[in-house]
Amino acid sequence: MMSTRLLAISALLLLLSGCQTLDNQSTDNALPAQTVLENGKVGPACLDYFDGCNQCRRMYINGPAACTKKACQTYKKPVCHKTASADMPTYSEFRCGEGTIIVIHHADSARISGAMLAEPFELPRVTSASGLKYADGQRAFWQKVDEATLQLSQDGDTVQCQLIPR
């Protein structure tokens, strides 16, 4: 009984320690205001930020964020603490037919994964007249703005993809 109570108290303290706010911290060292968009939300290049209620982090530009789950009655001004560097990978998610894929764009390659694929794979970036194109002679991914074409084999069969807005 005592060990269960001690375990519950330890878990509660651990949870509370991860939910500290920035109320008492100075924002003088915050990054430039352009990392907080006009609508009051944090921009996609912000990797470590306070969203007005919770602390959040993401691994990639435009990637999903992991945030503390604190409930707030009032929200404060969002603050970006760390922005991505120019060589940081970019995260994109696409709906391709009935499935979705995730594309992590690096400077010279892209890693493509998703449930509709047998396994994740990486493609080198190749020259294209427009958009971003990655290909290895068998598979290809060619993105133009918010549309893309995914080719999974040499026979030329393709799937049309649409960027899922974040």
CATH class of 90-163: mainly beta
What is the predicted pLDDT for the residue at 32? Answer: 40
At residue 52, the 3 state secondary structure works out as coil
H or E stretch covering 112: strand 109-113
Q: Which residue has the higher pLDDT, 23 or 2?
A: 2
What is the predicted pLDDT for the residue at 139? Answer: 94
3-state helix, strand, coil in the chain (%, to 5): 10, 40, 50
Q: Which residue has the higher pLDDT, 14 or 61?
A: 61
User: Counting runs of H as helices and runs of E as strands, what totals does the chain give?
Assistant: 1, 12
What is the predicted pLDDT for the residue at 10? Answer: 42
Average pLDDT over residues 13-32: 35
Q: 16: left (phi > 0), else alpha (psi -120 to 50), else beta?
A: alpha
With CA atoms as reference, report the closest residue to 123 among 102, 107, 139, 145.
139
pLDDT digits (tens, 9 = 90+) for 87-117: 788 899 999 998 999 999 988 999 999 988 9
Q: How many CB atoms lie within 10 A of CB 80?
A: 23
The dihedral formed by the CA atoms of 56, 61, 63 and 69, expressed in degrees to the nearest 10: 10
pLDDT digits (tens, 9 = 90+) for 24-77: 333 333 334 346 666 778 888 888 999 899 999 988 888 888 999 999 999 898
Provide long-range contacts, Cβ within 8 A and 24+ apart, for 68-73.
68/18, 68/19, 69/19, 70/19, 70/21
What is the predicted pLDDT for the residue at 38? Answer: 64
Q: What are phi and psi of 90, to 5 degrees?
A: -110, 140
What is the predicted pLDDT for the residue at 18? Answer: 38
Tokens, residue 160 = 């049309």
What is the predicted pLDDT for the residue at 35? Answer: 64
pTM of the model: 0.60
Where do you find CATH 2.40.128.200 in the chain?
90-163
What is the predicted pLDDT for the residue at 1? Answer: 45
H or E stretch covering 17: helix 2-17
Q: At residue 165, does pLDDT exceed 70?
A: yes
Length of the chain counted residue by residue = 166
What is the predicted pLDDT for the residue at 20? Answer: 34
Average pLDDT over residues 116-121: 92
